[in-house]
Chain A
Amino acid sequence: MADNRWGLWSAIAFVLIAAAIGGMIPPYDTGLLTQMLIYGIFAMSLDVLHGYTGMPSLGHAAYFGLAAYVAAICSLKLGWGFEAAGAAGIAASALAAALFHLLALRTAHSYYLMITLAFSQVLWSLAVSWTDVTGGDNGLPGVLRPQIGSWSFGSTIAYFYFALAVFVVSAAMLYVFVTSPFGYALRGIRDNEMRMRALGYHVWAYKYLASIVSAAFAGVAGELYMYLNNFVSPSALSVTVSAQVLMMILVGAAGTLFGPVLGAGVFVILQYVLSTYTDRWLFVIGVIYVLLALYAPQGALIYLRDRLKARQRRSAG
């Protein structure tokens, strides 16, 4: 049950199908698929922190955007190659999480939500104000897509396959992470921290590592996002982004790792469909949040599954 075999096979099927059709569909749709992969990684990273460890974060965009900015600055202003810039970005996010959580884990649970929000807003405001380094509101355009040796991933299709490869590697690593003994411990911590301590677990160390891993993968997603758009701006650090990724794990099923990937897919489609018909995207997110909060705070998938089970029981009994 904890292994979530169902989710794993769905994810594998999704990857195989995506790999097969990625080159054959219209370029715009390939772009959407790429977005799904990128947000999928982002959602999985938050799931590790929120769904598995039980640390609700409203500031995950901080790690998403920070890595993008650092990678962009390293390649545009320092002339670093893709490998170095990319690594620097991920390292920056991981380091930021490591420093931030030295403080964040000392405070009471109720504060965590607010200080994660504060942290991401501080980074956002830095991005807007520190114009010399970050380009301010205009951001940093002109970032070229990855070039590894003689392989260029500049075209839409090539970049799609690049993102797919990164997704597969990330998903595999995170899958091992959450099904490892460490991952089981995270689940215990989310459920009953005091019991974990009584059993002998050094809870702080688990939360600390989980936050760093979560931030690192959020950074991976952020960089992929930047390379997709060839550009990074303060919006990558905004509350909206944090709220959107939170919505992805809630629409999916928090704590299942692959449910949030589904949530990411749903989100991309929803955003695409709605932006065609209306400008009121923010309003729609708000309503979805209210509905989720009232009816399915554990996740829409879980809500649906429970309703299905209830109906089965009624018809069987």
Chain B
Amino acid sequence: MKPLEIRALSRNFGGVRAIADVSLALDSGERRAIIGTNGAGKTTLFNVVNGQIPPSSGEIFLFGENVTRMPLHRRATLGLARTFQITSLFRNLTVIDNMIIAVQALTTAHFVFWRRLAHYREVLGRAEALLEKWRLTEFRHEIVRNLSYGTQRQLEIVMALAGNPKLLLLDEPMAGLSAAETHLATDIILNLDRGITVLLIEHDLAAAFKIADRITAMDQGRIVAEGTPEEIRQEASLQKIYARGGVRHE
């Protein structure tokens, strides 16, 4: 059963075709990178898969289930998690509170209003454990908006992992990171459990090539090429992506 299958997906905004006739399938445990210039439709694709905006036509299947009309919040229960290109954390809450909210979301505790959270040791324990694993414990009482950008991006990824997702959508995880931070983030993603399938959008071609098993290239809403990093590297028609949109090369 494929974690993600998209068939002939399209999304129009007025007269503009943001994504047109996109079909894609991921294998379990695969690392797939989507590359393309700005405006190629990558984030729109994520927004449709995630459920934030409905498609104009086409279908989406998560782990074999047709989720095309499924509301956003229910897709998470199927094992879908996502990070955002523009950091989307709970900026006015502490790091530990952010983690708690992320951890409890898919547990049975999430709607309990008659018992204090302190009672739910598993939730608290897992939140602390995640912070510890990703070396964020020192920040636990910091308010998120006071954190450095790099730390925020890191927290963004860790929050997405909190619910034990099986399919992770990473929207430009390297955006705005320094070279050192990019290395760190790349390592984090590479070391992710192979039980998690990863689909990422990335402008940093070096990182994309390093992480991905397969690469899908998009341009003006359509898929223009798909293959292993080697195949994509040779693909001549993609030179314009490298020229226009590509950022760092090793």
Task: Please tell me whether chains A and B touch each other in their complex, using a CB distance cut-off of 8 A.
Answer: yes
- On A, residues with C-beta under 8 Å from B are 1-3, 176-177, 179-185, 187-188, 191-192, 194-203, 205-206, 209, 213
Docked CA distance A18–B6 (Å) = 65
Q: Which B residues touch A188, using CB under 8 A?
A: 90, 93, 101
Query: What is the minimal beta-carbon distance from B18 to any residue of chain A, in angstroms?
Result: 19
**C-alpha gap A188/B97 in the complex (Å):** 9
CB distance from B7 to the nearest CB of A (A): 23
When the two chains form the complex, which single residue of A184, A187, A200 contacts B163, counting CB atoms closer than 8 Å? A200
**Nearest CB on B from A196, distance (A):** 8
Q: Is B114 an interface residue (CB 8 A)?
A: yes
Option from B97, B106, B118 in Cβ contact (under 8 Å) with A200: B106
A184 touches B89 (CB 8 A): no
**Of B33-41, B72-80, B193-201, the one touching chain A:** B72-80
Cβ-based interface call for B92 (8 A): yes
Once the chains bind, are B90 and A197 in contact (CB under 8 Å)? no
User: CA separation between A188 and B4, bound complex, in Å?
Assistant: 28
Residue of A nearest to B140 (CB): A1
Q: Which chain B positions have C-beta within 8 A of A191?
A: 90-93
Chain B proximity of A189: nearest CB distance (Å): 10
| Chain B residues within 8 Å of A2, by CB | 93-94, 97
Check A201–B52 contact: CB distance below 8 A. Answer: no
| Interface pair B72/A198, CB less than 8 Å apart | yes
Is the CB of B249 closer than 8 A to any CB of chain A?
A: no
- Cβ of A183: which chain B residues have Cβ within 8 Å of it? 113, 117
Which one of B50, B92, B110, B123 contacts A198 once the chains associate, using CB atoms below 8 Å?
B50
**Given A194-B52, A196-B73, 4 further pairs, Cβ under 8 A:** A180-B116, A182-B110, A188-B101, A192-B90
Sorted from nearest, which 9 A-B pairs have the closest CB atoms?
Answer: A200-B76, A182-B113, A191-B90, A199-B105, A188-B101, A200-B105, A197-B72, A181-B109, A179-B116
Q: Is the CB of A199 within 8 A of B93?
A: no
Q: Which of B72, B81, B101, B162 has most chain A Cβ within 10 Å?
A: B101
Would you call B111 and A182 a contact (CB within 8 A)? Answer: yes
Task: Chain A residues near B94: list those with CB within 8 A.
Answer: 1-2
* Distance between B243 CB and nearest chain A CB, rounded to angstroms: 34
User: How far, in Å, is B86 (CB) from chain A's closest CB?
Assistant: 11
Q: How far is the CA of A206 from the CA of B111 in the complex (A)?
A: 8
Bound Cα distance A221, B210 (Å):
62
Q: Which of B72, B94, B123, B163 has the most CB of A within 10 A?
A: B72
Contact A177 to B163, CB < 8 A, known contacts A191-B90, A201-B73: no
What are the residues of chain B within 8 A of A209 when measuring CB–CB? Answer: 113
Q: Is the CB of B73 within 8 A of A180?
A: no
Q: Among the listed B74, B82, B89, B97, which residue makes an inter-chain contact with A1, where contact means beta carbons less than 8 Å apart?
A: B97
Closest chain A CB from B36 CB (angstroms): 23
Tell me which of A197, A199, A213 contacts B102 (CB under 8 A). Answer: A199
How near does chain B come to A180, taking the closest CB pair, in angstroms?
A: 5
Task: Point out the residues of chain A lying under 8 angstroms from B123, CB to CB.
Answer: 181
Q: Which of B74, B90, B91, B110 contacts A181 (CB 8 A)?
A: B110
Which of B77, B89, B141 is within 8 Å of A195, CB to CB? B89
CB distance from B60 to the nearest CB of A (A): 16
Q: Give chain B residues whose Cβ lies under 8 Å from the Cβ of A213.
A: 113
Report how far A286 CA is from B150 CA in the complex, Å.
44
Q: Contacts of A205 on B, CB cut-off 8 Å?
A: 111
Complex Cα spacing A201 to B105, Å: 6
- The answer to whether residues A177 and B110 also contact, given A1-B141, A192-B88, A195-B89 and a CB cut-off of 8 A, is no
Cβ-defined contact, A179 with B117, below 8 A: yes
